[in-house]
Amino acid sequence: MGLNCGIVGLPNVGKSTIFSAVTSAPAEAANYPFCTIEPNVGIVSLPDKRLDNLSELFHPKKTVPAIVEFVDIAGLVGGASKGEGLGNKFLSHIRQVGVIAHVVRCFDDKDIIHVSNKVDPASDIETINIELALSDLETVEKRKVKTEKLLHAGKDAAKAAQAELEVLEMLNKALSDGKPARSIEFTDDQLAIVKDLQLITMKKQLYVCNVDEGSAKDGNQYSKIVEEIAAKEGSAAIVVCGKLEAEIAMLETQEERKEFLEMAGLEESGLVRLIHAAYNLLGLRTFFTAGEDECRAWTFHEGDKAPQAAGVIHTDFEKGFIKAEVYSYDDIMELKTEQQIKLAGKLRIEGKDYVVQDGDVMHFRFNV
């Protein structure tokens, strides 16, 4: 699975505007379908107040945030699974990302064309979800034909084929009803089979409600519809005003951006919530290293153990891992210095089986 977030949606819903704002990188944005053909890729710093606070304590020479990658994928249309609107190419781009941020138009503007000539979030979501399901259905049906041929092979091969066919039938039923593959409850063995299929609808998804400026704080009637749909799916929905965020992105300093947000009645940018939601959906978490030379946020996968986290810094750290010195972010914020951390007995020495926690501050002992 890719460690990135793909931004998808119908044409003219504000995908490229939001992408440009979140990455502060220019992306094509125009008032006609298929302006974006090749996906734009942007690397985004993960806003993290914990890292800011650590830097205030340690006064390092440099501070380095964690990052997350966003991909702006061209607008899908009805019939994309059959090749409409360069659909096959766009669907292949979606297949390569880790999670999906589905941008839904939640604003009225007669000057911006809607592909269906009306603002209808529920219909828009259904159009995209059906196309993704149909694309996966084609994948499942092709696999089914191949697997059925193995039923007459050797005993072990036939047994494996039968187990796979049971999973394929479950997928076929759900996808034919327009339901995503992730809506099915699989056993661990079944999940291994599904993973091999690389289905789009197995990817976690969040909805991004692109609203007008007046709805940036509390949303509107359109975003409420999206939130209800997301809740039924077990997904998240985030309200963002792409137009407002684009204006904020053009400001040069953090002070100017903060002042702009306050004038708009917002405590934080909607894009900050989007970045964090994407990071979390990807199963990514953060540990820190802190000192006079550098304070840095490092990204690891939830469930990783100490040697794997050490390997994020350098492969030699993982190969020669001995121990990890660990204390929590909360403890350093309370006690202020590493010396006080030690005196309070809050510094832990952890071995190879330690499961790293989000917010750990770590120093590694290694030998190569």
Assigned domain for 288 exists: no
Assigned domain for 74 exists: yes
Q: What is the arithmetic mean of pLDDT over 318-330?
A: 97
336 and 355, same domain (yes or no): yes
Lowest mean pLDDT across 8-12, 34-38, 320-324: 34-38
83 vs 198: CA distance, rounded Å: 19
Lowest mean pLDDT across 99-108, 212-221, 262-271, 287-296: 262-271
239 and 336, same domain (yes or no): no
Q: Which residues contact 118 (CB under 8 A, 6 or more apart)?
A: none
Assigned domain for 121 exists: no
**Residue-level pLDDT at 261:** 92
**Residue-level pLDDT at 253:** 86
**Residue-level pLDDT at 82:** 55
Domain final residue pick, 249, 281, 313:
281
Which DSSP category does 74 fall into?
Answer: P
**Residue-level pLDDT at 83:** 47
Q: What is the arithmetic mean of pLDDT over 357-363?
A: 98
Lowest mean pLDDT across 55-59, 110-114, 161-165, 231-235: 110-114
**Residue-level pLDDT at 89:** 60
197 and 218, same domain (yes or no): no
CA atoms within 13 A on the CB side of 36: 28
List pLDDT tens digits, range 81-129.
454 444 456 678 888 899 999 999 999 998 887 777 789 999 999 988 9
Assigned domain for 290 exists: no
| Structural domain of 259 | 4-47+67-116+203-281
**pLDDT above 50 for 226:** yes
**Residue-level pLDDT at 38:** 55
CATH of the domain at 317: 3.10.20.30
List pLDDT tens digits, range 6-24.
999 888 899 889 998 988 7
Handedness of CA 137, 138, 142, 143 (dihedral sign): negative
**Residue-level pLDDT at 185:** 93
End-to-end Cα distance, the chain: 31
Q: Who wins on pLDDT, 350 or 33?
A: 350
CATH of the domain at 219: 3.40.50.300
Residue 313 confidence class, pLDDT cut points 50, 70, 90: very high
220 and 110, same domain (yes or no): yes
